[in-house]
């Protein structure tokens, strides 16, 4: 077996190696990561969480996801867009989230901006950058999975041009992976193809 290939889990089913690297990852890997996510609020949540993850491991965010959801009113754009200075100060001391001033400010600014968009506009914009799956080779190992693609670079530029903050090409690609715009489960993985 080559390093980075799908490996058997405790149940004998093959998974991406990262999906077995922590107990919290198994359900996320099997049931969420790479599955299509639609809806402006749902995509806003993923966009925010990927931004908060920047510079940290995903497990740190995953373990605090419920804290983030409580702190940001379930990531309802209309609700977060109304947050003011008192909410900002509350978030800066909330131990249930990552208390990074720049990331909190970006989340609040992005919500205010997205509240001015038409319903479905964020969903449509993000999904317009999904590459043709027939043109993407199936990764055999984790090493074959890119961190940035032409599509993620273009998505990042499009979101920034529209005024969104804290969304570089790497964060955009992580969003694409998490929300099913691409399927980066390695060959043989039980979750490949949304199984």
Task: For the beta carbon of residue 99, count every other beta carbon within 10 angstroms.
Answer: 13
Which tokens hold the place of 38? Answer: 């639609």
Q: Catalytic: 58?
A: yes
Q: Catalytic: 28?
A: yes
Q: Which of 25, 33, 58, 173 is catalytic?
A: 58
Q: Which residues have a Cβ under 8 Å from the Cβ of 143 and sit 6 or more positions away? A: 3, 4
Distances (CA, A) of 137 to 40, 146, 182, 184: 29, 11, 11, 9
Q: Catalytic: 121?
A: no
3-state helix, strand, coil in the chain (%, to 5): 55, 0, 45
Q: Which of 50, 127, 129, 151 is catalytic?
A: 50
Q: Which of 18, 28, 32, 117 is catalytic?
A: 28
Which tokens hold the place of 104? Answer: 């909190």
Distances (CA, A) of 165 to 108, 147, 171, 172: 10, 19, 11, 11
Distances (CA, A) of 175 to 26, 50, 64, 128: 19, 6, 17, 13
Give the residue numbers marked as catalytic. Answer: 28, 50, 58
């Amino acid at each position: 077996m080559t390093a980075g290939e799908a490996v058997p889990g405790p149940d004998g089913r093959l998974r991406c190696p990262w999906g077995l690297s922590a107990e919290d990852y198994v359900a996320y890997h099997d049931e969420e990561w790479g599955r299509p996510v639609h809806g402006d609020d749902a995509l806003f949540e993923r966009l925010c969480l990927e931004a908060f993850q920047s510079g940290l491991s995903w497990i740190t965010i995953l373990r605090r996801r419920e804290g983030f959801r409580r702190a940001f009113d379930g990531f309802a754009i209309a609700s977060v867009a109304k947050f003011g200075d008192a909410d900002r100060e509350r978030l800066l001391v909330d131990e249930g989230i990552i208390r990074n001033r720049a990331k909190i400010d970006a989340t609040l600014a992005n919500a205010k901006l997205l509240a001015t968009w038409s319903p479905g506009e964020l969903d449509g914009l993000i999904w317009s950058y999904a590459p043709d799956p027939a043109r993407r080779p199936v990764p055999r190992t984790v090493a074959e999975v890119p961190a940035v693609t032409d599509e993620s670079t273009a998505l990042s530029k499009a979101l920034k041009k529209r005024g969104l903050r804290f969304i570089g090409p790497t964060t955009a690609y992580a969003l694409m992976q998490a929300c099913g715009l691409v399927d980066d489960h390695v060959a043989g993985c039980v979750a490949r193809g949304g199984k």
